[in-house]
């Protein structure tokens, strides 16, 4: 399922300038979570966002995902200035242009994989999906869960639950995929499987931003950004390394081989 990129987006999918986000603390003190962030992410990039707790990476992700608004600064997503949009317009942007993947999967219990993946399409106000079940089935097959369509989350492994979450994020064909510690609850082998899927999406042109505290996860990306005290202190390309899919196959043969 190749991601079709709008020719108008041949440059920046994400363009942020002078982004500031301030909060009022319990004692009334003004706290600055983001302190003037400038960031551009082009079509097809696979970017890791790193930083210690309190660095601002979660705040940045929430703004990128239109779950929060900046105090000041500009944010253009796929050419749209989203910083000043009203709530209904922001909801449409989230549903149509952004796919979310969470560390805790955030799947509905007592609901099948197929129904979990169908959910974003039911909120699509442009009726782009005449057959949500067919679209959901296709993307679940795409992530290797064609035989688990009717399984509930409790009947799936952690890696399979994350694949359902990835399918749910992809089903609306977003411009931007956001992942918040997507491997944080997974073992090493399953992490390789998930990163192999992300790398495959990257090869197909999907733009991805992955928040992680793990150097290993960042090493599968093409670019790594480090935040500290609400500022970007490092922005560097990541040297190419062996594909996660190759390492996953080696791991299946024996963990010592994958570690070499």
User: Quick one: pLDDT band at residue 241, thresholds 50, 70, 90?
Assistant: confident
**Is 1 within the bounds of a domain?**
no
User: Quick one: pLDDT band at residue 254, thresholds 50, 70, 90?
Assistant: low
What CA–CA distance (Å, rounded) separates 100 from 103?
A: 10
Q: Which residue has the tokens 């931003």?
A: 209
**Would the pLDDT of 8 be above 60?**
no
Contacts of 239 (CB under 8 A, 6+ apart): none
pLDDT digits (tens, 9 = 90+) for 14-70: 999 999 999 988 888 899 999 999 999 999 999 999 999 999 999 999 999 999 999
**Is 3 within the bounds of a domain?**
no
**Domain, as residue range, for 21:** 9-259
**Is 253 within the bounds of a domain?**
yes
Q: What is the pTM of this model?
A: 0.88
**Is 4 within the bounds of a domain?**
no
**Is 99 within the bounds of a domain?**
yes
pLDDT digits (tens, 9 = 90+) for 112-125: 999 999 999 988 87
Give the total number of structural domains in the chain. 1
Task: Give the CATH number of the domain where residue 192 resides.
Answer: 3.40.50.300
**Is 83 within the bounds of a domain?**
yes
User: Quick one: pLDDT band at residue 255, thresholds 50, 70, 90?
Assistant: low
């Amino acid at each position: 399922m190749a991601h079709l990129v709008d020719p108008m987006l041949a440059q920046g999918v994400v363009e942020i300038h002078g982004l500031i986000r301030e909060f009022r603390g319990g004692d009334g003190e003004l706290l600055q979570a983001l302190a003037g962030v400038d960031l551009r992410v082009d079509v097809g990039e696979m970017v890791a966002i790193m930083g210690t707790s309190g660095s601002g990476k979660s705040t940045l992700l929430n703004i990128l995902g239109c779950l929060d608004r900046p105090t000041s600064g500009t944010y253009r997503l796929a050419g749209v200035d989203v910083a000043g949009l009203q709530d209904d317009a922001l909801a449409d942007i989230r549903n149509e242009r952004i796919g979310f993947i969470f560390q805790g999967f955030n799947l509905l219990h007592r609901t099948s994989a197929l129904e979990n993946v169908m959910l974003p399409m039911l909120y699509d106000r442009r009726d782009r999906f005449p057959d949500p079940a067919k679209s959901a089935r296709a993307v679940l097959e795409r992530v290797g869960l064609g035989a688990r369509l009717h399984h509930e989350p409790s009947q799936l492994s952690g890696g399979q639950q994350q694949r359902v979450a990835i399918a749910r994020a992809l089903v609306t064909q977003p411009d931007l995929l956001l992942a918040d510690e997507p491997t944080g609850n997974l073992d090493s082998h399953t992490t390789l499987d998930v990163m192999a899927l992300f790398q495959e999406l990257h090869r197909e042109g999907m733009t991805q931003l992955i928040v992680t505290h793990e150097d290993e996860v960042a090493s599968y990306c093409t670019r790594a950004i480090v935040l500290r005290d609400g500022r970007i202190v490092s922005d560097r390309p990541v040297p190419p390394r062996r594909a996660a899919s190759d390492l996953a196959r080696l791991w299946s043969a024996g963990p010592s081989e994958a570690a070499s």
